[in-house]
Every structure is written in structure tokens, then in C-alpha cells.
């Protein structure tokens, strides 16, 4: 089944409470990160851009309802990062920026 299909998303919304930890965030939903967590991720985003990753997004507190152009949506302590397909997560530049910015994310399998 296609995870982006309306049927899958409806089933996920109904069954999410049964998943460990409540399951992954639902598109269009809002998280409630602490001001400290949001400020820290904003610093990371700014640092990543300063270190050669211009398409690294600012953090937010809502899950994008449209996933077009988004490779990864990650929830880090309630802070949402919607990483675009244009961002090469496996590049040497990205790895160097992660180290410089003290940021480590678990990467998805390379497609």
C-alpha cells in the first residue's frame, strides 16, 4: 500500500494511538516543542546553511500536509524538520556540516 495514499493516511490516523509512542506524526498535525528545543534546532539550521548546505530548512512545529518535494520529515523532541529532495543527505558536504554544527541525524536508506 502507498503510504501517501488517502486510505493509508486515514488508517494511520485511526490506529496511531495503538502504535508504540503514538507512532509517527500525522501530516498536518502540530507538535509542541519547548522554546529551548526550537531555538537549538534553529541554531543548527543556521549553522548548516553557513557550512554550505543552503537548502537546509528552518525547524517548525507542524507536519507539512503536502509531502511533494520532501524526502524526510523528522521529529526531534517535537521540532519538525522537513528535508527536501534537493538536499543530498549523503554528500561529503552534508557530513562535514553535520560535524561542524554538532548535528547528527539518522539517515534513511539511500534510494
CB 76 within 8 A of CB 42: no
108 vs 59, residue with greater confidence = 59
Closest among 26, 29, 25, 30 to 10, alpha carbons compared:
26
Confidence (pTM): 0.66
CB 75 within 8 A of CB 97: no
pLDDT tens for each residue of 8-21: 666 656 665 555 44
Q: Count Cβ atoms below 10 Å from residue 15 Cβ, excluding itself.
A: 10
27 vs 41, residue with greater confidence = 41
Q: What is the CA radius of gyration of the chain?
A: 15
Instruction: Name beta bridge partners: 11.
Output: none
Place of cell 493509508: 8
| pLDDT tier, 3 (very low <50, low <70, confident <90, very high otherwise) | low
35 vs 13, residue with greater confidence = 35
| pLDDT tier, 45 (very low <50, low <70, confident <90, very high otherwise) | very high
Give residues with Cβ within 8 angstroms of 100, minimum separation 6.
Answer: 47, 51
pLDDT tens for each residue of 48-67: 999 999 999 999 887 776 66
Amino acid at each position: 500500500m502507498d503510504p501517501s495514499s488517502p486510505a493509508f493516511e486515514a488508517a494511520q490516523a485511526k490506529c496511531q494511538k495503538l502504535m508504540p509512542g503514538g507512532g509517527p506524526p500525522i501530516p498536518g498535525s502540530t507538535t509542541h516543542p519547548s522554546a529551548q528545543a526550537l531555538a537549538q534546532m534553529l541554531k543548527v539550521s543556521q549553522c548548516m546553511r553557513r557550512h554550505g548546505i543552503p537548502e537546509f530548512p528552518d525547524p517548525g512545529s507542524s507536519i507539512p500536509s503536502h509531502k511533494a518535494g520532501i524526502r524526510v520529515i523528522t521529529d526531534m523532541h517535537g521540532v519538525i524538520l522537513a528535508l527536501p529532495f534537493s538536499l543530498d543527505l549523503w554528500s561529503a558536504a552534508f557530513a562535514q556540516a553535520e560535524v561542524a554544527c554538532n548535528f547528527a541525524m539518522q539517515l534513511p536508506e539511500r534510494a
